[in-house]
Amino acid sequence: MSNRYAVILAAGQGTRMKSKLYKVLHPVCGKPMVQHVVDQVSKLNIKEVVTITGHGAEMVEEQLGSSIKYALQEEQLGTAHAVMQARELLEGKEGITIVVCGDTPLIKHETMEALFKHHEELSAKATILTAHAENPLGYGRVIRNDVGMVEKIVEHKDASEQERKIKEINTGTYCFDNKALFEALNKVTNDNVQGEYYLPDVIEILKSEGEVVTAYQTADFEETLGVNDRVALSQAETFMKKRINEEHMRNGVTIIDPSNTYIGADVKIGSDTVLYPGTILSGNTLIGSDCVIGPQTEISDCQIGNQTVIRQSAAYDSHIGSQVNIGPFAHIRPQSDIHDEVKIGNFVEVKKSVFGKGSKASHLSYIGDAEIGKDVNLGCGSITVNYDGKNKYLTKIEDGVFIGCNSNLVAPVTIGEGAYVAAGSTITEDVPGEALSIARARQVNKENYTQKFNK
């Protein structure tokens, strides 16, 4: 196999997006478009990946990390000019270079692999990945001669009426003989409607020099969608969502209503888990097997065990164990660690707290900055009073504690193992293990009070 190189074009502002965010950083299913492209390219056994950055270079580099190289395109003079910026890193090297646009987030590594193969089999100097588009508006068109050989690509804006009728489009992905590419780039001019240096012009240049130039047509237009505006962005989202959902379903996840279930590109889900409508799973979320999630549930960056049920709730950046039951209407805030067999019921908010195995907060509670042991029962309306307006303090509740309803635990405070706190208490001092603590005014009954009052 020849050496492989890749150039990813990501320098454009994306004027048509009308956005403060640089185009290639717009997320599709929660992941920036250019990251989708880099993730696929990284499966291709490439020796050097060079991303061309310009607008928002720092943000793009921060997103993509240091495992790939970057070349800065200070002025965006066109796609050919963009590839030129990789010259210092790639020129003169033997091998094949794949060029991919950072705004085609649906491109699959299998298709790029097939493109490489086609290119190698035909010993071509350039191979264009093309697709059939029912509505080719805006794309470059592939011009073939009478015998079907590729002649050139004409940009939509430069195309004649006749050329615009062509439905075979340039997807913006190409394989080039690396040396031939950089030689041909020197010859590209900006003599066109947009006054830009077009990468597709390399095709015509190589062809005119008698080199082998071919096209490989993929059957799946969806995969090659180029995102230039928000309409295309939403189409990309729809296509990607369908792809992700179908992959999970094929892996044994039941999705009751795929059109109403949103799963981020990096989410992992075990088999026999059921997702109800309105479920949104994002970030680095991992869900085990046999779980039930939803309806109307948002989970982001959580690691969840097996046989856990989460209904109509939100959970962020937390660990949640196995056989846990959460919701409806619970809120698990970041850095919570909920162990196995815990129950977090309706209207319970948990923040940065540990819940030991088998503990319960079944109704109407706020538990923040707390360390709760095993088999603790937090009665309805239990509150950790963790904040004095300036600082946050820890509440420690040891194994087997029973907190009666409507109790305030004023932190910092520790409730010792096996202790009882009577309902309605406001606890301001530590409670020793096995003790019963009652911290409320004694009840006074004034006999016949209303009769006297009414006189």
Find the binder of Mg ion among 105, 226, 305, 327 (CB under 5 A): 226
Question: Nearer Cβ to ligand UD1, position 30 or 172?
Answer: 172
Question: Nearer Cβ to Mg ion, position 233 or 338?
Answer: 233
Find the binder of ligand UD1 among 116, 155, 241, 348 (CB under 6 A): 155
Each residue of 162-199: b (16+ CB within 10 Å) or e?
Answer: eeeebebbbbbbbbbbbbbbbbbbeebeeeeeeebbbb
Report whether 193 contacts 157 (CB < 8 A).
Answer: yes
Secondary structure element (H or E) that encloses residue 89, with its range: helix 87-90
Find the binder of ligand UD1 among 198, 355, 366, 420 (CB under 6 A): 198
Is 11 a binding residue for ligand UD1 by CB under 6 A? The answer is yes
Q: Which of 3, 18, 9, 39 is nearest to 266 (CA)?
A: 39
Q: In whole angstroms, how close is the CB of 199 to ligand UD1 at the nearest point?
A: 5
Select the span of 30-38, 225-233, 247-255, 354-362 touching Mg ion (CB under 5 A). Answer: 225-233
Q: In whole angstroms, how close is the CB of 130 to ligand UD1 at the nearest point?
A: 9
Rounded CA-CA distance 348/343 in Å is 10
Q: In whole angstroms, how close is the CB of 294 to ligand UD1 at the nearest point?
A: 35
Is 9 a binding residue for ligand UD1 by CB under 6 A? The answer is yes
Secondary structure element (H or E) that encloses residue 36, with its range: helix 33-41
Rounded CA-CA distance 340/331 in Å is 18
Give the sign of the dihedral formed by CA 131, CA 136, CA 140, CA 141. positive
Helix (H) and strand (E) counts for the chain?
Answer: 10, 39
The CA–CA distances, whole Å, from 154 to 160, 167, 168, 224 equal 9, 12, 11, 18
Tokens of 205: 């240049």
Select the span of 191-199, 221-229, 262-270, 443-451 touching Mg ion (CB under 5 A). Answer: 221-229
Rounded CA-CA distance 223/239 in Å is 8
DSSP type of residue 392? B
> Segment 65-124, which members bind Mg ion (CB under 5 A)?
103
Question: Nearer Cβ to ligand UD1, position 221 or 316?
Answer: 221
Tokens of 106: 């649906």
Q: In whole angstroms, how close is the CB of 197 to Mg ion at the nearest point?
A: 15
Report whether 12 contacts 55 (CB < 8 A).
Answer: yes
Minimal CB distance residue for Mg ion = 226
Is 176 a binding residue for ligand UD1 by CB under 6 A? The answer is no
| # residues contacting ligand UD1 (CB under 6 A) | 32
At 15 the three-state DSSP class reads helix
Find the binder of ligand UD1 among 7, 38, 128, 169 (CB under 6 A): 169
DSSP type of residue 322? S
Q: Which of 109, 118, 132, 363 is catalytic?
A: 363
Q: In whole angstroms, how close is the CB of 282 to ligand UD1 at the nearest point?
A: 24
Mark 256-295 with x for binding to ligand UD1 (rule: CB under 6 A) and - for no binding. Answer: ----------------------------------------
Question: Nearer Cβ to ligand UD1, position 73 or 308?
Answer: 73
| Catalytic (active site) residue 26 | no
Is 105 a binding residue for ligand UD1 by CB under 6 A? The answer is no
Select the span of 192-200, 211-219, 384-392, 434-442 touching ligand UD1 (CB under 6 A). Answer: 192-200
Region of 252 (left: φ > 0; alpha: ψ -120 to 50; beta: rest) is left
Is 239 a binding residue for ligand UD1 by CB under 6 A? The answer is no
Q: Which of 40, 42, 39, 36 is nearest to 240 (CA)?
A: 36
Rounded CA-CA distance 225/299 in Å is 29
Is 228 a binding residue for Mg ion by CB under 5 A? The answer is yes
Q: In whole angstroms, how close is the CB of 347 to ligand UD1 at the nearest point?
A: 47
Give residue for tokens 């310009």: 54
Find the binder of ligand UD1 among 35, 130, 171, 336 (CB under 6 A): 171
Q: Which residues bind ligand UD1 (CB under 6 A)?
A: 9-12, 23-24, 52, 54, 73, 76-79, 81-82, 101-104, 139-140, 153, 155, 169-172, 198-200, 226, 228
- Residues noted as catalytic: 363
